[in-house]
Amino acid sequence: MSLEPPSGTPGRPGPARPGRLGVGVVGAGRVGAVFGSALRSVGHAVVGATGVSDDSRERIATLLPGVENLTVPEVLERAELVLLAVPDDALEGLVAGLADVGAWQAGQIVVHTSGRYGTDVLAPAQRAGAIPLAVHPAMTFTGTSLDLARLEGCTFAVTAPAAVLPIGQALVVEIGGEPVVVDETARGLYHAALAHGANHLVVLVAQAAQALEAAGIERPGRVLAPLLGAALDGATRSADVRDGVGPGAIAALTGPVSRGDAGTVTTHLEVLGDLAARTGATDVPDTYTELARGATRRALASHRIDDVAARTLLDVLGETPQEQE
């Protein structure tokens, strides 16, 4: 087995090298097909993939041309490295079921891409002699070749027993990523943080776009892009700096809460309440209220506003004195 740093780059095959692995992709979804293609581009051979839906079969044809669409047992029979890219809730049962039928092979590397789990979920495969790795890319995927370029510099959470941790790290480095070791016990919190940031950012943008459209803006995305892009860039840059109470992302906060402007926040609540009454979008004022409360507490903790301004804002936002304590 050879996992030295690659001479190629994601999406561009490097020169052939000895010791490459035969990779089997179980689940040719948005992540699996792209990850498999990235491994193929640095010299590994994809020996089979599973795709049930029309979209999965199309991804195999597009991202893994020439690779056979096989059953899961057939993929495991052929592969030296098995890439499990299935939904979180299906992973545990899949691994255990394959162990029950004796499908795992001693010395076989099994990698799952779930952010939620570490390697404990792979215990049935490990008992059969397989090498367990949890490798999760901190990236959103489209399931197209565009994702290959995004892997360059992408952070991957790697969890594995100490003896085989370097294998997971080497796989990440090979495809141009940056491995970060995440402890088994921290995987749930790690994944919750990513989901909270990325998934809820999408919801937040959708809500803001809906409000802008109701205000007569024909192309809300065009209005939001430069503002949100600048805010996100500032927040993520500041997040790497400690401010005494935690990551300093709140340093990028602007707007009425950061100024202690309770009157403006009151107006916002009124107009968003009206929007909810007219359109049924009750989630918009609810989200605004909860996030404004969080922004107020963090602005206070980082001394952006004083205690009086914070209490005034929280009163406007409907938080009781007991909740403010």
Tokens 């990440």, located at residue = 172
Go through 168-185 and write b for each residue having 16 or more CB atoms within 10 A of its CB, e for each that does not.
Answer: bbbbbbbbbbebeebeee
**Domain end: 167, 182, 197, which one?**
182
Contact 64, 28 (CB under 8 A): yes
Same domain, 293 and 144: no
Same domain, 156 and 89: yes
The answer to whether residue 93 sits within a structural domain is yes
The answer to whether residue 47 sits within a structural domain is yes
What pLDDT, on the 0 to 100 scale, is given for residue 5?
A: 37
The answer to whether residue 90 sits within a structural domain is yes
Same domain, 249 and 126: no
What pLDDT, on the 0 to 100 scale, is given for residue 241?
A: 80
What pLDDT, on the 0 to 100 scale, is given for residue 226?
A: 97
Same domain, 168 and 242: no
The answer to whether residue 8 sits within a structural domain is no
Same domain, 51 and 145: yes
**Domain end: 182, 208, 236, which one?**
182
Reference 103, options 206, 182, 24; nearest CA is 24
**Residue 103 tokens, joined:** 């499908």
**Domain end: 158, 182, 206, which one?**
182
Indicate the Cα dihedral angle 90, 125, 46, 62, nearest 10°: 0
Reference 21, options 38, 46, 50; nearest CA is 46
CATH of the domain at 60: 3.40.50.720
Which regions of the chain are under pLDDT 50? 1-2, 4-16, 18
Same domain, 178 and 194: no
Same domain, 237 and 313: yes
The answer to whether residue 6 sits within a structural domain is no
Can you give the residue range of the structural domain that contains 112? Answer: 22-182
Same domain, 306 and 162: no
- Residues with Cβ within 8 Å of 171's Cβ and at least 6 positions away in sequence, in order, are 3, 39, 111, 133, 135
Same domain, 32 and 141: yes
Same domain, 173 and 196: no
The answer to whether residue 203 sits within a structural domain is yes
**Residue 170 tokens, joined:** 């080497």
The answer to whether residue 10 sits within a structural domain is no
Q: Number of folded domains in the chain?
A: 2
